[in-house]
């Protein structure tokens, strides 16, 4: 499948190669490809600049958000929370209509330092804002509650641990769940469909807890697990 990964940060650098390794054709979207390829400053969280990473992935295609969306059957949103709507606007509605968007972004606001606050919460969410702005897009919120390395390698943690999906289009969620299983190794019973896109409020609001756990555990390599009462008990 032709897949556009919007973003050039650590999520895009985890998701893109994992999809490409499964035979998908991946193109990364960025604001200005020439700038992104020549930027030498580290990323916002201290990671290497995209140009350094690109040397290790010489076949990785990079274009504008519009270039990336043009031939994509599915789009992954791995832009910052504040950059998500601008990135989609740059892609253009006619290149988005009818496509699935796996929305991994979180509306984190670091303007007052750590811990970040949420720029939208309680009665709305970033996923809903995207869905309202682009009614023709099939938004499926997923993978936003764990670190990038675990998104594409759940087996790095032993035992069952879960991810969540939110979206209005049932068929799109089935397709995304299938991709997450086939490309990244998620087990079907560990992909929890929460319901319509408004349920993304809950998973985006997990982030304040997630960042505090990160600070407390001093590692991002953890995830949430559900313990349910068994039918027999």
Nearest-approach distance from CB 76 to ligand NAP, in angstroms? 10
Size of residue set near ligand NAP by CB under 6 A: 25
**Helices and strands in the chain, H and E counts:** 10, 10
Nearest-approach distance from CB 15 to ligand NAP, in angstroms? 9
Nearest-approach distance from CB 26 to ligand NAP, in angstroms? 14
Stretch that binds ligand NAP, among 104-112, 117-125, 131-139, 172-180 (CB under 6 A): 104-112
Nearest-approach distance from CB 78 to ligand NAP, in angstroms? 5
From the list 3, 5, 12, 74, which residue makes contact with ligand NAP (rule: CB under 6 A)? Answer: 12
From the list 4, 5, 30, 199, which residue makes contact with ligand NAP (rule: CB under 6 A)? Answer: 30
Q: Which residues of 95-110 are buried (b: 16+ CB within 10 A; e: fewer)?
A: bbeebbbbbbbbbbee
From the list 147, 168, 190, 198, which residue makes contact with ligand NAP (rule: CB under 6 A)? Answer: 147
> Contact 43/14 with Cβ under 8 angstroms?
no
Name, in order, each residue with C-beta under 8 angstroms of 122's C-beta and a sequence gap of 6 or more: 201, 205
Q: Determine, following the binding rule CB under 6 A, whether residue 44 of this chain makes contact with ligand NAP.
A: yes
Report d(CA 125, CA 94) in Å as an integer.
23
> Contact 79/8 with Cβ under 8 angstroms?
no
Report d(CA 10, CA 154) in Å as an integer.
16
Nearest-approach distance from CB 230 to ligand NAP, in angstroms? 31
Instruction: Give DSSP secondary structure letters for 92-143.
Output: -GGGTTT-EEEE----EE-TT-SSPEESS-SS--HHHHHHHH-TTSEEEEES
Q: Please say which residue, 25 or 80, places its beta carbon nearer to ligand NAP.
A: 80
Instruction: List phi, psi (to 5°) of 185.
Output: 90, 15
Q: Please say which residue, 11 or 179, places its beta carbon nearer to ligand NAP.
A: 11
Q: How many CB atoms lie within 10 A of CB 26?
A: 25
From the list 3, 4, 5, 11, which residue makes contact with ligand NAP (rule: CB under 6 A)? Answer: 11
Nearest-approach distance from CB 82 to ligand NAP, in angstroms? 6
| Binding interface with ligand NAP (CB under 6 A) | 7-12, 30-31, 36, 44, 78-83, 86-87, 104-106, 108, 144, 147-148
């Amino acid at each position: 499948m032709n897949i556009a990964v919007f973003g050039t940060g650590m999520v895009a650098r985890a998701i893109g190669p994992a999809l490409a390794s499964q035979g998908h054709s991946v193109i990364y979207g960025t604001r200005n490809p020439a700038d992104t390829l020549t930027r030498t400053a580290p990323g916002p969280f201290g990671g290497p600049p995209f140009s350094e990473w690109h040397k290790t992935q010489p076949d990785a295609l990079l274009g504008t958000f519009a270039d990336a969306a043009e031939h994509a059957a599915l789009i992954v949103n791995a832009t910052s929370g504040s950059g998500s709507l601008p990135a989609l606007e740059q892609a253009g509605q006619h290149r988005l209509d009818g496509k699935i968007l796996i929305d991994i972004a979180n509306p984190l606001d670091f303007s007052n330092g750590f811990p970040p606050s949420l720029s939208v919460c309680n009665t709305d969410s970033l996923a809903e804002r995207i869905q309202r702005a682009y009614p023709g897009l099939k938004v499926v919120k997923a993978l936003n509650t764990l670190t990038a390395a675990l998104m594409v390698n759940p087996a790095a943690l032993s035992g069952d641990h879960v991810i969540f999906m939110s979206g209005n289009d049932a068929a799109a969620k089935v397709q995304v769940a299938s991709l997450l299983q086939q490309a990244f190794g998620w087990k079907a019973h560990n992909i929890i469909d929460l319901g319509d896109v408004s349920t993304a409020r809950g998973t985006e609001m997990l982030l304040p807890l997630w960042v505090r756990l990160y600070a407390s555990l001093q590692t991002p390599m953890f995830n949430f697990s559900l313990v349910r009462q068994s039918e027999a008990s």
